[in-house]
């Protein structure tokens, strides 16, 4: 029964992707920001995290790169994930063609309420982003899922299945491992979280994971990560 469910999910994810290739609006990149909103994220950390994403997306250097590619635009969206049944679109797919678009997206990120609950289904977040991306109406030259989190995989689809399904669809998965709360939570077997991300979460050509060791470094790490992801699309 489990295999049947997994195969059904694979079919659902693959079918809309094929249609999008023929009908989507061109963009240099489709970027899905998958943000940890699970129970391990405290309220003050949640507010700080949302503000950091807003600052990073509207950063002038990031905006210049967003609008400096062949198509002059990227499509970006932000979702929040928690337990297997808690996958939530927070800011819908938005075409960034000018600084005002990026600022509007940033404002929407800060204004949206918290929605996720439960614990750390990274695999379901990847699957959600893949399906959301497939039906977003854009046809990006590259496709990236950007996962941030402060703890390892727990529950939902098998992580290798979700990762490999996305990679096979031409999506790159990058990671941002947050080590700074309570010394940092770990991955399976007590491995450092960033190693769990590198071993089990990221995938695709040029995929990478970055560790953030101090809270005050989070926004700068996000900016650096976005620049690397977006510049690779040019």
pLDDT band at 42 (very low <50, low <70, confident <90, very high): confident
Residues 193 and 150 sit within 8 Å (Cβ to Cβ): yes
What is the CA angle 180-186-192, rounded to 5? 85
Per-residue pLDDT tens digits for 97-145 = 999 999 999 999 999 999 999 988 999 999 999 999 999 999 999 999 9
Environment class of residue 46 by beta-carbon count within 10 Å: exposed (0-12), middle (13-18) or buried (19+)? middle
pLDDT of residue 184: 57
Give the CATH H-level superfamily of domain 70-182+197-214.
Answer: von Willebrand factor, type A domain (3.40.50.410)
Condensed to tens digits (0 to 9), the pLDDT of residues 167-202 reads: 999 999 999 999 876 545 666 677 889 999 999 999
Give the per-residue pLDDT at 24: 79
The residue with tokens 């800011």 is 91
Which DSSP helix (H) or strand (E) runs through 86?
A: none
3-state secondary structure 31-46: EEEEEECCCCCCHHHH
Distance in angstroms (rounded) separating the CA atoms of residues 10 and 5: 9
- Strands of the sheet containing 25-36, edge to edge, are 87-96, 74-81, 25-36, 138-149, 171-178, 209-212
Look at the chain and count its residues.
234
pLDDT-derived band at 87, boundaries 50, 70, 90: very high
Average pLDDT of the chain, as a whole number: 88
Task: Supply the pTM of this predicted model.
Answer: 0.89
């Amino acid at each position: 029964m489990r295999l049947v469910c997994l195969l059904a999910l694979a079919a659902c994810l693959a079918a809309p992707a094929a249609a999008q290739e023929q009908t989507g609006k061109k963009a240099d990149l489709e970027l899905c920001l998958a943000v940890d909103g699970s129970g391990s994220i405290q309220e003050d950390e949640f507010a700080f995290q949302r503000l950091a994403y807003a600052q990073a997306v509207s950063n002038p250097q990031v905006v210049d790169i967003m609008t400096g590619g062949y198509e002059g635009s990227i499509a970006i969206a932000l979702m929040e994930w928690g337990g297997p049944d808690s996958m939530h679109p927070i800011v819908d797919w938005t075409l960034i063609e000018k600084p005002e678009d990026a600022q509007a997206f940033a404002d929407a990120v800060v204004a949206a309420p918290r929605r996720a609950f439960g614990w750390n289904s990274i695999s379901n977040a990847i699957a959600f982003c893949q399906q959301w991306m497939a039906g977003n109406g854009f046809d990006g030259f590259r496709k990236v899922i950007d996962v941030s989190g402060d703890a390892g995989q727990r529950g939902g689809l098998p992580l290798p299945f979700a990762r490999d399904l996305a990679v096979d669809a031409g999506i790159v998965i990058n990671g941002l491992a947050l080590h700074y709360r309570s010394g940092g939570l770990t991955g399976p077997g007590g491995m450092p979280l960033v190693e769990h991300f590198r071993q089990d979460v990221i995938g695709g050509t040029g995929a990478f994971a970055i560790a953030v060791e101090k809270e005050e470094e989070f926004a700068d790490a996000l900016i650096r990560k976005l620049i690397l992801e977006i510049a690779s699309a040019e």
